[in-house]
Amino acid sequence: MTELATPSRPQRPEFRNINAFKDLPTYRWPLAALVSGMHRISGLIMFLLLPFIIWLFDTSVSSEFSYARFSAAFSTGLGFLPGWFIKLVALGLIWAFLHHIVAGLRHLWMDVAHAVSKEFGRRSAIVTLVLSLGVTALLGAKLFNLY
Amino acid sequence: MSVNYGSKRLVVGAHYGLRDWLAQRVTAVLMVLFTLVVLVKVLVTRGPLGYEGWAGIFAPQWMKALTFTIIVALIWHIWVGMREIWMDYVKPVWLRLSLQVFTIVWLAGCAGWAIQVLWRL
């Protein structure tokens, strides 16, 4: 109230019809917003790579022969794509899945517990990022034979 | 939900969109539970998993039925999410409609493929 009544209110940037190139670089991204944006991006990635995911399912379960092709994709490659590239795409999918599932569980928790405070949003966003990126790093290291 | 078709259909109000919201959460919970089932089955396997162990997880009839349900849940979940993305970021009606049609075609094709794989097992 007092702040509104004072004539010298701090000038804050106003965004209308956000332009991806002009506005987004200067746009403020609180961690909760970042997690939300990444939730959408990870979902989009998995949607676009859905045929690849089903190819992995198909080749891995159909027969011994196809299973060998499935394994070879990660070592010798697939068509003109080298094995490390397939591993990289798989790692991208692992991240997308982990981020999506943790951020989704965060949403479910908010729905059930009515946990909608600003502080909870920030803290749970940190937990989401640490968990999803941490497990992605662990599985990625395994995928690239680091341990 | 009241009348959702014809001239008396409800197009505004607090409950519009509740079905999508709920479907998104129900399908998500189902997929989380399915992930846990597969994860447990992988972890209880003794020794290296290999083809036999991995394909064996999906071989029982109940697991096929469950996986089939999860494929339906997945497609439904993706549809709600992708429609939301197109509605939020794509304004021109012709482009949005085209992207939504593409999404449906993409998802229907993928679902058919996945289900075919499942019942060949």
A45 CB contacts (<8 Å, ≥6 apart)? Answer: A92, A93, A96
Tens digit of each residue's pLDDT (9 = 90 or more) over A9-62? 778 777 777 777 887 777 788 999 999 999 999 999 999 999 999 999 999 999
Identify from B34, B117, B121 which residue to disrupt to test chain A contact, counting A C-beta atoms within 10 A and taking the largest count.
B117
- Please list the helix, strand and coil fractions of chain B in percent, rounded to the nearest 5, in that order: 75, 0, 25
Report pLDDT for B17.
77
- Which positions in chain B touch A56 (Cβ < 8 Å)? none
Query: Could B113 and A58 be called an inter-chain contact, meaning their C-beta atoms sit closer than 8 Å?
Result: yes
What CATH number should be reported for the domain holding residue A121?
1.20.1300.10
State the nearest Cα–Cα gap between A117 and chain B, in angstroms: 21
Tens digit of each residue's pLDDT (9 = 90 or more) over A132-147? 999 999 999 999 988 8
Residue A13 located in a structural domain: no
Domain, as residue range, for A36: 30-143
Locate the DSSP E strands across B6-118: none
If contacts are CB pairs under 8 Å, which of residues 102-131 in chain A contact chain B? 104-105, 107-108, 111
Residue A7 located in a structural domain: no
The mean pLDDT value of chain B amounts to 91
| B117 vs A40, A62, A101: nearest CB | A62
| A104 vs B28, B51, B58: nearest CB | B28
Spatial distance between the Cα atoms of B88 and B82, rounded to a whole number of angstroms: 10
Torsion of CA A65, A67, A73, A78, to 10 degrees: 50
Query: Could B54 and A47 be called an inter-chain contact, meaning their C-beta atoms sit closer than 8 Å?
Result: no
What does the block give as tokens for A147? 């341990």
Report pLDDT for A24.
77
B99 Cα distance to chain centroid: 18
Domains of chain B: 18-120 (1.20.1300.10)
Over pLDDT 90: what percentage of chain B? Answer: 74
Residue A109 located in a structural domain: yes
| Tally of CB atoms within 10 A around B25 | 17
Q: Note the pTM of the prediction, 2 decimals.
A: 0.87
State the nearest Cα–Cα gap between A23 and chain B, in angstroms: 15
Chain A residue with CA closest to B111: the answer is A54
Number of domains chain A contains: 1
pLDDT at B49 > cutoff 80: yes
Q: What is the DSSP letter of B6?
A: S
Answer whether A60's CB lies under 8 Å from A121's CB: no
State the nearest Cα–Cα gap between B20 and chain A, in angstroms: 15
If contacts are CB pairs under 8 Å, which of residues 42-81 in chain A contact chain B? 43-44, 46-47, 50-51, 54, 57-58, 60-64, 67
Residue A24 located in a structural domain: no
Residue A2 located in a structural domain: no
| Tally of CB atoms within 10 A around A55 | 17
Query: Could B32 and A61 be called an inter-chain contact, meaning their C-beta atoms sit closer than 8 Å?
Result: no
Report pLDDT for A11.
80
